[in-house]
Structure 1
Amino acid sequence: MSAIRDREEDIGFTPEAGQDNSVERGAVIGEQEKGERRPPAHNDLDSIAWSGADDPANPKNWSNKRKWLNITVLSLLTVVTPLGSSMFAPGIPSIMAEFHETSPNAATFILSIYVLGFVFGPILIAPLSETYGRRKLYIWGNILFTIFSVGTALSNSMGMLLGFRFSMGFAGVVPITIGSGSIADMMALETRGRAISIWALGPLLGPCIGPVAGGYLIRAKGWRWVYWLISIISGVLIPISTFLLDETFAPVILQRRNASLPQDTTNSAVPNRSTPRPVDTLKFRAAALRPTKLLFLAPLVTLSALYIAISYGILYLLIATFSFVYPQQYGFDEGTSGLAFIPAGIGMILGVIGIGQVTDLMVKRNKLRGVVHQPKFRLVPIITIPCGLALPCGLFIYGWTTYHTVHWIVPMISVSIMCMGLMTVNSCIQNYLLDTYPRYAASVSAALTILRSFVAALLPLSGLQMYEAMGLGWANSLLGFVALVLIVIPLTLYKFGERIKTWHVPKL
């Protein structure tokens, strides 16, 4: 049986505290020492076994080409959604004028309401994905996102615009919520870091590259064309996702396999399309509560979510300042103001490329040395301390160089450094949680997304008033001191994570 455990650790599935090991192994590997199929322990889909360690239906045994094709499509879907969040930011003055709005809070709320959709969407999406699978959610979420984008482009009142933007965020958050779950379904531990990092670029790069294209498009065609363009892009992705995406969630794959077997060989423990499934209601209720339980009752997830939410909120607040800092301090126009977002994107790309390669290399090296992988290896201080310090240092430099109108290249470089550190630490934490809770990857991502989006939506509403009251220098310094305190979180998880996890083990 030790061989089975080794195989489980290799592919990234380890039993969680309080779970029955034999059931978890049956759901993931489903092999006995002689390679025979294990009978189900109880009438639960999760206990059904694969036919063996090399079962070709197991997403972890797919070819690299098939895996990366799915990851590429997921990454494209994940990039499009954040574009709708900020691509039209340079056109907010035009929208305010067209709908006769003058309140500064209204201008900020136009941006924030989209992210509020990110708060409520995961509450429904995560349990659906862990009950019925992931593929259909990607497809239908993108279809609804396209429809709501068209509605936003046709809006003739502020209320209509806000309603459709909220709906865009609600439907578009699907790949952000469960994308990491799909990757965990497919990728082994030693390759998961790079895959997660590439996919995670979407939620972070979207707010940075969107205004670059949006500034020039709005100046040439008006703000409505931002949404027509998003509708076209997401519309093109509908057939692409329909034909190229595969289902990766193991219970659903096993259910379909069971449904295709002759009646006399069908496993009665696995429901199929022709049999009633009363257990689904109970499973859905449990899955619906799981993200909230993880967020508030699992200390590791709570601490991780706090770090990611606050750092992401700082990023959104900082991005909100670009629209007035560079025009007022440096004389940038509507088009060139969008270029101020490029350094942030460069920093994120550098961070994601670096951390994905480094963490995967560490896992492979430990495996060759015979060292059993532990989730905390994703949070080694030699990475998290310098990268964690990059966030506050970047904020200090950005605040005081813009305040004193130092050449614009200096604050842009500082933003790049800040975003590189932010992306690196966030990726480390997300991979740490996926290694800790592999079975509930979608719910973990949902928990992170809910709190992160809530903070990102609300912080700019009050944050801009902070800039007015304190000025660029001290306001950014305050954020820098907050970011400095945040470094304690990844260090605490690295040093005491296993002990903290045992403080409270919620029933998931």
Structure 2
Amino acid sequence: MPADISFSVPAKSPGYSPEIDTVELRETKDTLKAVPNEELSTDISVDPVSSTGKPKLPEMNLDKGIVGWDSQEDPSMPLNFSQNRKWALLAQITAITFVSPLSSTIFAPGATFMDKDFHNSNSLLSSFTVSVYILGYVLGPLFIAPASECWGRRPVLSATNWWYVIWQAGCAVAPNIGCLIAFRFLAGLGGAGCMTLNGGIIADLFVPEERGAANALSAIGVIFGPVIGPIFGAFIGQRAGWRWIFWVLCCLSGVITIVIQIFNKESYAPVIIARKTAKLSKELGLETKPEKFQREFTRPLRMLFLSPVIALFCTYMSLVYGLLYLLLTTLPMVYTETYHWSTELTGLASLGIGIGFFVGLVVIGLTSDKIIVKLTNWNGGIYEPEMRLPYMTLFAILIPISFFWYGWAADKAVHWIVPIIALSPFGFGMLGIFFPIQMYLIDAFPVHSASAMAALTVSRSLVGALLPMAGPQLYSSLGLGWGNSLLGFVALLMVPMPYYLWKYGGTIRKRHVIQL
């Protein structure tokens, strides 16, 4: 038996999406080590000749040095999990993905009570206690996504969830505002885990024509969490005190994390195959050389800065996400100062956005996969990720319309229901942008979808954390009418981008292939 063996992934075959599902054993000189496949590392985009059906995956063949699946019906293959198991796993992720973004805004109404306890009169510092949580979303994904692609989704998700639970408890007992800011940031690092991995898990479990419905379920938490947060936070802070906001988050996330810990199952195919290979190597009496992780841990940033398509999508999503958090953090101020609402009621002002989200979720969830199937059939059975984008332009137009309407309605202090209704198009439009962008990244980069989602999460979270801090000064200088109109004009400038990426995104993606 040869003493030295190395591993590599075979080149993809026609009709096969670039999932790393096998490991080829071949002789080398000295050690057992991992050798990345050159073709795969050069091009990880979806094979343009592949359809939306389940790909034929390489099977175990030790005579040819292939470590793969036992058969196409191998039950350990994530795509072969039963529908009940797939949707149960996704429901668990959706639950924790609801709590994590909920944490980003739930403290906004409670910050007023915290200021009184800590004798804080600095409004900027008070705002920072809310937005610093999102800064955790900026740093966390840079490590979380590559770690999941090295060690698997399950251990990384569990670790980040428990980290989140611990620091929510820390926030509840924070002795001063400095500790609260530090603990909120640390909680954000853990909360970024589910936000980063949910797209990758969808790519692991579902083929493209099923991912629209799966993403619709996953989006419930991501989208509705920040909207419902101020409502919960206002009532809890008013009735039980601001510290109980964090105790509620700690208990809720703790229960969900225990359920995930018990029932979650590894879904990342390359890690499953790598474990099978490691087991075989151990049985053969071979020793492996530790993996070098530099390439993996720089992948999200390389995708963000070296892929023009990802950079454009991240820029657009960052703007929309920043506008969302600016609205959610300034709505309490607008409704207390303009309409003289109590702290408890101000959280309800975000319901307009929530209604828009709900309508958008229903419409897109019911139509997304059907549109993909039709476009694929019209394209001779060939699926392209850009097929996710055609209707984005229509949704993009709703963003500036909503800001113009909301801004001037609030500026003129018309009936309180009008600004709330005016924000519904924003919620509808944002979902119509968020949904196809996320699905595009999952479909275009299936192997490294977690890293692609990390790039998106990092960029949008950075803007989402910083832009709201400019909101009070913006409205103070320009007023609600012209302040929101300025934001509307910025959003209007971005409207052509979805159409441009729909028409030319495929060409750009294939021309600018990045080394991953």
**CA offset at residue 247 of structure 1?**
0.5
C-alpha distance in 2 between matches for 1:401 and 1:177:
37
Given that 1:122 and 1:177 are in contact with CA atoms closer than 8 Å, whether structure 2 keeps it comes out as: yes
Deviations 1:235-281 (A, max 9, x none): 11122001111100112222344466xxxxx3x4xx7999654342x
2:354 alignment partner AA: G
Which ranges of structure 1 fall in alignment gaps of 5 or more residues?
42-46, 261-265
Tell me the equivalent position of 2:269.
250
**CA offset at residue 121 of structure 1?**
0.5
Tell me the equivalent position of 1:190.
209
Identity, % of aligned positions: 35
Tell me the equivalent position of 2:122.
103
2:126 alignment partner AA: A
Given that 1:16 and 1:437 are in contact with CA atoms closer than 8 Å, whether structure 2 keeps it comes out as: no
Which moves more between the two structures, 313-322 or 441-450? 313-322
Give the structure with the larger helix fraction. 1
Given that 2:43 and 2:514 are in contact with CA atoms closer than 8 Å, whether structure 1 keeps it comes out as: no
C-alpha distance in 2 between matches for 1:123 and 1:273:
36
C-alpha distance in 1 between matches for 2:211 and 2:414:
41
Q: What is the TM-score with the length of structure 1 in the denominator?
A: 0.89
Structure-to-structure mapping, 1:484-499, within 5 angstroms: 484-499=492-507
C-alpha distance in 2 between matches for 1:389 and 1:316:
19
**CA offset at residue 317 of structure 1?**
0.7
Tell me the equivalent position of 1:147.
166
Tell me the equivalent position of 2:34.
none
C-alpha distance in 2 between matches for 1:169 and 1:98:
23
C-alpha distance in 2 between matches for 1:482 and 1:501:
26
Check 1:120–1:247 CA distance in 2 against 1; reply closer, same or farther (3 A cut). Answer: same
Say whether residues 1:372 and 2:391 are aligned partners: no
Tell me the equivalent position of 2:289.
278
Tell me the equivalent position of 1:335.
344
Say whether residues 1:18 and 2:42 are aligned partners: yes
Structure-to-structure mapping, 1:38-53, within 5 angstroms: 48-53=67-72
**CA offset at residue 457 of structure 1?**
0.7
Deviations 1:128-155 (A, max 9, x none): 0010001011112111111111110001
C-alpha distance in 2 between matches for 1:61 and 1:476:
49
C-alpha distance in 2 between matches for 1:231 and 1:435:
34
C-alpha distance in 2 between matches for 1:303 and 1:257:
38
1:210 alignment partner AA: G
Tell me the equivalent position of 2:218.
199
SS of equivalent to 2:74: coil
Which ranges of structure 2 fall in alignment gaps of 5 or more residues?
1-11, 20-38
2:115 alignment partner AA: M
Given that 1:355 and 1:428 are in contact with CA atoms closer than 8 Å, whether structure 2 keeps it comes out as: no
C-alpha distance in 2 between matches for 1:20 and 1:457:
31
- Within the candidate set 245, 257, 272, 1:226 is matched to 245
1:344 alignment partner AA: I
C-alpha distance in 2 between matches for 1:142 and 1:440:
21
Deviations 1:446-468 (A, max 9, x none): 00001101001111122321111
Check 1:218–1:276 CA distance in 2 against 1; reply closer, same or farther (3 A cut). Answer: farther
Say whether residues 1:399 and 2:407 are aligned partners: yes
Given that 1:198 and 1:353 are in contact with CA atoms closer than 8 Å, whether structure 2 keeps it comes out as: no
Check 1:55–1:5 CA distance in 2 against 1; reply closer, same or farther (3 A cut). Answer: farther
Tell me the equivalent position of 1:389.
397
C-alpha distance in 1 between matches for 2:262 and 2:372:
34
Aligned length: 481
**CA offset at residue 192 of structure 1?**
0.3
C-alpha distance in 1 between matches for 2:63 and 2:80:
21
Tell me the equivalent position of 2:515.
507
SS of equivalent to 1:51: coil
Tell me the equivalent position of 2:425.
417
**CA offset at residue 17 of structure 1?**
8.6
**CA offset at residue 6 of structure 1?**
4.2
**CA offset at residue 19 of structure 1?**
3.8
Structure-to-structure mapping, 1:292-331, within 5 angstroms: 292-331=301-340
Check 1:31–1:106 CA distance in 2 against 1; reply closer, same or farther (3 A cut). Answer: closer
SS of equivalent to 2:265: coil
Check 1:230–1:31 CA distance in 2 against 1; reply closer, same or farther (3 A cut). Answer: closer
**CA offset at residue 36 of structure 1?**
6.6
- Within the candidate set 345, 353, 356, 1:344 is matched to 353
Q: What is the TM-score with the length of structure 2 in the denominator?
A: 0.87
SS of equivalent to 1:248: coil
C-alpha distance in 2 between matches for 1:18 and 1:72:
34
Given that 2:200 and 2:450 are in contact with CA atoms closer than 8 Å, whether structure 1 keeps it comes out as: yes
Given that 1:300 and 1:501 are in contact with CA atoms closer than 8 Å, whether structure 2 keeps it comes out as: yes
Check 1:351–1:438 CA distance in 2 against 1; reply closer, same or farther (3 A cut). Answer: same
